[in-house]
Amino acid sequence: MLFRYKFRPRSTALAACLAMLAVSGNAKEPAPPGIAYDGEARTGTDTRPVRFRFLCTSNEGPDVTGVLSVELEIPRYKQMRAIFDFDPFEGPDADAGAKTLLQGTGARGKSSGRFMASGSAIENGATDYFALDVAASRREPGALRKLAAVLRRLVDGAAALTWNQDNAKPKGTPMVATLDLVRSQAEELKTALAPCLSGHQEIGR
């Protein structure tokens, strides 16, 4: 069985990583790329565990573009369709608008930014989830700095990330997902994201 993943035109490195994960149902399924931590999401009266996944890849010549990315994986999302409309966020051409507000809180203060997320439905046997992704190309300094400013707050000791996801449905219930990191997790994340948070751009490389 093949998985369905999103492919964002400006995130070719992420797309390449995800494309490699399409394997047959008889093969051992490799873990998704990046580093992941468990959090919680609330949408009205619905509360469920979610997973935050972070990724930093490098530019590899003119054909592969690196990306800084944070993804929110919502399990059993079909149960939520009555209160949250996922459809406008699905696919590479999703244009629901900048309905994602990310806020990082750490030892050095807070940073927040509003972003556009795109997503995809992932189905794997009895497990299904919807993955919302906010990504910035490492060849686009403005977008990279904006996302890095939020994520940089997470790597200096105990920290928290709040993902506020507006509903695309008018007056629809928003989703609020939270992630709390202990010091050891923050240090692990700092190592994983260091190349994307260093401030050195890779334009033209």
pTM of the model: 0.81
Question: What confidence score (pLDDT) does residue 203 get?
Answer: 36
Q: Where are the beta strands (DSSP E) in the chain?
A: 35-43, 46-56, 67-75, 100-106, 109-115, 118-124, 127-137, 159-165, 175-181
pLDDT at 95 (0 to 100): 78
pLDDT at residue 129, rounded to an integer: 93
For residues 52 and 71, the answer to whether their CB atoms sit within 8 Å is: yes
Share of the chain above pLDDT 70, in %: 80
pLDDT exceeds cutoff 50 at 2: no
Q: Which three-class secondary structure state does DSSP give residue 30?
A: coil
Judged against a pLDDT cut of 80, whether residue 88 lies above it is answered with yes
Query: Is residue 126 very low, low, confident or very high in pLDDT (cuts 50, 70, 90)?
Result: low
Asked, for residue 27, whether it belongs to a domain, the answer is no
- pLDDT, tens digit (0-9, with 9 covering 90-100), for 157-200: 999 999 999 999 888 999 999 999 999 999 999 999 999 998 64
What is the extent of the structural domain holding 135? 12-22+32-87+96-197
Whether residue 11 is predicted with pLDDT greater than 60 in this model: the reply is no
Q: What is the mean pLDDT of residues 122-133?
A: 85
Does position 205 have pLDDT exceeding 80, yes or no? Answer: no
Above 60 in pLDDT, residue 47?
Answer: yes
C-alpha distances out from residue 11 to 21, 40, 61, 105, Å: 16, 27, 14, 26
Q: What is the pLDDT of residue 105?
A: 98
Domain-embedded: residue 50 = yes
Average pLDDT over residues 98-103: 96
Q: What are the phi and psi torsion angles at 11 (to 5°)?
A: -125, 60
Question: What is the rounded CA–CA span in Å between residue 50 and residue 37?
Answer: 9
Residue 123 lies in a domain: yes
Domain-located, residue 111: yes
Q: Which element (helix H / strand E) includes 186?
A: helix 183-197
Number of domains, the chain: 1
Residue owning tokens 């300094």: 141
Alpha helices by DSSP H, 22-95: none
DSSP letter for 60, please.
B
pLDDT at 59 (0 to 100): 79
Residues 6 or more apart whose CB falls under 8 angstroms from that of 115 comprise 98, 100, 101, 102, 134, 146, 147
Q: Does residue 22 sit in helix, strand or coil?
A: coil
Q: So what's the pLDDT on residue 63?
A: 75
Residue 5 lies in a domain: no
Averaged pLDDT for residues 57-73: 87
Identify the pLDDT of residue 22.
35
Mean pLDDT across the stretch 80-107?
Answer: 90
Residue 46 covered by a domain: yes
Those residues with Cβ within 8 angstroms of residue 163's Cβ, 6 or more apart along the chain or in another chain: 41, 52, 70, 72, 100, 101, 102, 175, 176, 177, 178, 179
Q: How confident is the model at residue 5 (pLDDT cuts 50, 70, 90)?
A: very low
The pLDDT of residue 125: 67
Q: Would residue 69 count as lying in a domain?
A: yes
201 or 197, which is more confident: 197
In a domain, 203, yes or no: no
Calculate the alpha carbon distances from 12 to 3, 8, 58, 97, 195 in Å: 18, 7, 11, 21, 17
